Structure 1
């Protein structure tokens, strides 16, 4: 921005003082959220400390929540009169457009029933398949081959890497409701700088898998308990380029999957036990955060969260507060696992490898094990279920 002619003087440097935030500036989004949050607090809502975009109002048996993403707002609760009152309050303060019952939000399709809430991204998945020309491709039963190994030196570089980067970026967003694809996308995203032909072939494998179930998503059950349980796992020295391990975890609220993650560890682990122990530390941090959110939502979770791990050595390290030769080199922040166990927040337990749900987030699995773990994570395709129901009704008629 330049000053008008006549205001500039030689040797002087002047700036303009904004009286109102302008659209497009860095301060605009902060000022907008400050105005919106001030209005919600004036209406009796309390801002969550665990998630600043979550606002909660609880009084006796009444609970109303507001979730904000820029200028899109989800309003939910069990007190319909107060929800309508809040809607009127926001309409008086801002230019509001009520879209009615929640069905579509930021590319996520929401389907509600007596069994619970289903979240999927079917339209977004079909758009990806159409743009890439894979609507007519043959299907794949799993997103990544079990014996596939990708490195940064595989074959020749792609002539147009931008297409690969754009595709992987869209697949990352699609993983919001597709935990079955988190590990494969994690692997593909490591080669965004210099993608090669095998990396693109692996991405096409993911597209063929998506074509088989574009409407697949997670199911949040309405009748399950409100108790947390977590599974964590690590694949030791998985990365062939850096020899770092891959951590993965998934956290269930009753029978519903609410949090999952796959991430490469920041340092090289000297043993499988150390890699598993680091995965346990990451899971404990997420458990602590989720308990804060449940507390804001007036959910009493006084029982310790059971953390399942399939490595006995890592479990012994977590329960033993004594430093010895195998653990003295591990960073201090990883030992928060011991602290959470002593505080009664987390309770560790051993699980067999074949029943370890977090395996889905640390390695490529066989078809049978892949499908078995998916069913246990409440990953379903409501569109295929609906088609099956219609077919059954016609057969009976």
Structure 2
């Protein structure tokens, strides 16, 4: 099995995301995401990525496709600036908007009920394929319950256009799985 080879060279397989492997050596971190015969790789230093690709090339035929633009039908965009490293007035306005919302919402909350099945975690997801008539983007949503209590939910338009209803449903499932694993 190929994944065993990554573990042998120092990667640790994620417990919550099995195709993900993490390599740590002091301040260096490298994250590898494996899908069939495709690999997405990111690291603290570009030189480490190059060295790892050369190491893989000894054992396997490797084709470096360069900067990631699309993976599993999901478009990847790269931001030229980071909010934390170069905040602007627009970022500050967003922060103020969030703080005003939180200040006004302090008295609101969710009522949690005791239940005999309060340790039961249940999640539901749904999606409508190309539901927006203008952009053809799909909307996904999910709900997560702990016993009878709603503890997490989301409904939003997907960032990319799905090619099929299966792809839309898969994305909805991926979103709820990530949230459920986090909980």
TM-score w.r.t. the length of structure 2 is 0.52
How many Å separate the matches in 1 of 2:79 and 2:138?
A: 16
Q: Is structure 2 residue 135 aligned with structure 1 residue 213? A: yes
User: Contact between 1:54 and 1:66, CA under 8 Å: does it hold in 2?
Assistant: yes
- Residue 71 of structure 1 corresponds to 37
- When residues 207 and 99 of structure 1 are mapped into structure 2, their CA distance, relative to the original with a 3 A threshold, is same
User: Contact between 2:69 and 2:75, CA under 8 Å: does it hold in 1?
Assistant: yes
How many Å separate the matches in 2 of 1:86 and 1:262?
A: 38
How many Å separate the matches in 2 of 1:87 and 1:58?
A: 17
User: Contact between 1:67 and 1:73, CA under 8 Å: does it hold in 2?
Assistant: yes
Q: Is structure 2 residue 76 aligned with structure 1 residue 110? A: yes
Offset of 1:262 from its aligned partner? 2.4
Q: Is structure 2 residue 142 aligned with structure 1 residue 262? A: yes
When the two chains are superposed, the root-mean-square deviation of aligned CA atoms in Å is: 3.4
The match for 1:91 among 57, 65, 70 is: 57
| Higher relative contact order, chain-length normalized (CA < 8 Å, sep 6+) | 1
Q: Is structure 2 residue 17 aligned with structure 1 residue 43? A: no
Offset of 1:86 from its aligned partner? 0.8
Offset of 1:264 from its aligned partner? 9.2
Offset of 1:42 from its aligned partner? 2.8
The count of corresponding residues between Structure 1 and Structure 2 is 118
- When residues 70 and 184 of structure 1 are mapped into structure 2, their CA distance, relative to the original with a 3 A threshold, is closer
User: Contact between 1:64 and 1:78, CA under 8 Å: does it hold in 2?
Assistant: yes
* Partner-residue secondary structure (3-state), 1:68: strand
Which ranges of structure 1 fall in alignment gaps of 5 or more residues? 1-33, 117-181, 186-205, 218-259, 266-273, 284-357, 362-373, 382-397
Offset of 1:66 from its aligned partner? 0.2
Higher helix share: 1
Higher strand share: 2
* Partner-residue secondary structure (3-state), 2:61: coil
- When residues 184 and 47 of structure 1 are mapped into structure 2, their CA distance, relative to the original with a 3 A threshold, is closer
* Partner-residue secondary structure (3-state), 1:58: strand
- Residue 61 of structure 1 corresponds to 27
* Cα deviation 1:282-338 (Å, max 9, x = unaligned): x5xxxxxxxxxxxxxxxxxxxxxxxxxxxxxxxxxxxxxxxxxxxxxxxxxxxxxxx
User: Contact between 1:43 and 1:86, CA under 8 Å: does it hold in 2?
Assistant: no
- When residues 208 and 263 of structure 1 are mapped into structure 2, their CA distance, relative to the original with a 3 A threshold, is closer
How many Å separate the matches in 2 of 1:49 and 1:214?
A: 36
How many Å separate the matches in 2 of 1:64 and 1:264?
A: 32
Q: Is structure 2 residue 23 aligned with structure 1 residue 101? A: no
User: Contact between 1:57 and 1:64, CA under 8 Å: does it hold in 2?
Assistant: yes
* Partner-residue secondary structure (3-state), 2:78: strand
Q: How does 1:200-279 map to 2 (within 5 A)?
A: 207=130, 209=132, 211-214=133-136, 262=142, 275=148, 277=149, 279=150
Offset of 1:51 from its aligned partner? 2.0
